[in-house]
Structure 1
Amino acid sequence: MAQALLKEIEIGSKNALLKKRIITHYIYSGNSTLTDLSKELDLSVPTVTKFVSEMCEEGYINEYGKLETTGGRHPILYGLNPESGYFIGVDIKKFAVNIGLINFKGDMVDLKMDIPYKLENTPEALEELCKIISNFIKKTKIKTDKILNININISGRVNPELGYSFSHFNFSERPLAEILTEKIGYQISIDNDTRAMTYGEFLRGCVKGEKDIIFVNISWGLGIGIIIDGKVYTGKSGFSGEFGHVNVFDNEILCHCGKKGCLETEASGSALHRILLERIKNGASSILSNRIKTCETPLTLDEIIAAVNKEDLLCIEIVEEIGQKLGKHIAGLINIFNPELVIIGGTLSQTEDYITQPIKSAIRKYSLNLVNKDSAITTSKLKGEAGVIGACMLARSRMFEC
Structure 2
Amino acid sequence: MPRNNSFFDDLRNEAITGVAYKNLSLKKQILIRFANTGNATIADLSKELNISTPKTAGLVTELLQDGLVKDYGKTESSIGRRPSLYGLNPHSVFFVGVEVKRFHVNIGLLDFKKNVVKISESIPYRLDNTPEAFRQLCDIIQDFIRILSIKKDKILGIGLNLSGRINSRTGYSYSYFHFGEEPLSNLLEKETGIPVFLENDSRAMAYGEFCHGAVRDEKHILFINMDYGIGMGIMVNGRLYYGRSGFAGELGHIPVFDNEIICHCGKKGCLETEASGEALIRIFLKRIRGGASSIAWKPGRKETAIQLEDIIRAAKQDDVLAIECIAEIGEKLGKGMATLINLYNPELVILGGSLSATGAYIQLPIITAVHKYSLSLVNNDTELKISQLGERAGVIGACLLVRDRLLGLL
TM-score range, shorter chain: over 0.9
Q: Which amino acid in 1 is paired with 2:241?
A: Y
CA distance in 2, matches of 1:159, 1:327: 28
Q: Which residue matches 1:52?
A: 60
CA contact (8 A) 1:2 1:84 kept: no
Counterpart selection for 2:8 from 3, 15, 35: 3
Counterpart selection for 2:239 from 231, 249, 257: 231
CA contact (8 A) 1:91 1:388 kept: yes
CA contact (8 A) 1:90 1:391 kept: yes
CA distance in 1, matches of 2:50, 2:219: 21
Q: Offset at 1:296?
A: 7.2
Is 1:205 aligned to residue 213 of structure 2? yes
Is 1:250 aligned to residue 255 of structure 2? no
CA distance in 2, matches of 1:159, 1:98: 21
1:128-139 alignment, distance < 5 Å: 128-139=136-147
Change (3 A) 1:35 1:192: farther
Q: Which residue matches 1:222?
A: 230
Is 1:364 aligned to residue 376 of structure 2? no
Using the TM superposition, name which of 327-336 and 84-93 deviates more: 327-336
Q: Which amino acid in 2 is paired with 1:320?
A: A
Counterpart selection for 1:127 from 119, 131, 135: 135
Q: Which residue matches 1:174?
A: 182
Q: Which residue matches 2:355?
A: 348
Using the TM superposition, name which of 158-167 and 358-367 deviates more: 358-367
Q: Which amino acid in 2 is paired with 1:98?
A: N
RMSD between aligned residues: 2.3
Q: Give me the TM-score of the superposition, normalised by structure 2.
A: 0.91
Using the TM superposition, name which of 256-265 and 366-375 deviates more: 366-375
CA contact (8 A) 1:250 1:261 kept: yes
CA contact (8 A) 2:28 2:407 kept: yes
Counterpart selection for 2:193 from 185, 189, 197: 185
- Count of matched residue positions in the alignment of Structure 1 and Structure 2: 401
**What stretches of structure 1 of length at least 5 have no aligned partner?**
none
CA contact (8 A) 1:8 1:16 kept: no
Q: Offset at 1:79?
A: 2.1
CA contact (8 A) 1:221 1:264 kept: yes
Is 1:294 aligned to residue 301 of structure 2? yes
Q: Which amino acid in 1 is paired with 2:330?
A: G
Q: Which residue matches 1:269?
A: 277
Q: Offset at 1:24?
A: 2.6
Using the TM superposition, name which of 351-360 and 57-66 deviates more: 57-66
Q: Offset at 1:204?
A: 1.0
Instruction: Write the deviation string for residues 323-344 of structure 1: whole angstroms up to 9, x where unpaired.
Output: 1111122122112112111101
Instruction: Write the deviation string for residues 8-51 of structure 1: whole angstroms up to 9, x where unpaired.
Output: 57624111012122223333334455566556645566654543
1:135-174 alignment, distance < 5 Å: 135-174=143-182
Q: Offset at 1:174?
A: 1.1
Instruction: Write the deviation string for residues 293-350 of structure 1: whole angstroms up to 9, x where unpaired.
Output: 3357611211110111111111111111111111122122112112111101011111
Q: Offset at 1:100?
A: 0.6
Change (3 A) 1:30 1:219: farther
Q: Offset at 1:378?
A: 0.6
Counterpart selection for 2:105 from 97, 112, 115: 97
Change (3 A) 1:262 1:187: same
Change (3 A) 1:221 1:296: closer
Is 1:28 aligned to residue 68 of structure 2? no
Q: Which residue matches 2:393?
A: 386
Q: Which amino acid in 2 is paired with 1:317?
A: E
Change (3 A) 1:203 1:67: farther
**What stretches of structure 2 of length at least 5 have no aligned partner?**
1-5
The alignment-based identity, stated in percent, is 52
Change (3 A) 1:367 1:252: same
Q: Give me the TM-score of the superposition, normalised by structure 1.
A: 0.93
Q: Which amino acid in 1 is paired with 2:12?
A: K
CA contact (8 A) 1:67 1:77 kept: yes
Q: Which amino acid in 1 is paired with 2:363?
A: T
CA distance in 1, matches of 2:193, 2:70: 30
CA contact (8 A) 1:97 1:114 kept: yes
CA distance in 2, matches of 1:70, 1:355: 55
Q: Offset at 1:232?
A: 1.1
Is 1:318 aligned to residue 315 of structure 2? no
Change (3 A) 1:17 1:261: same
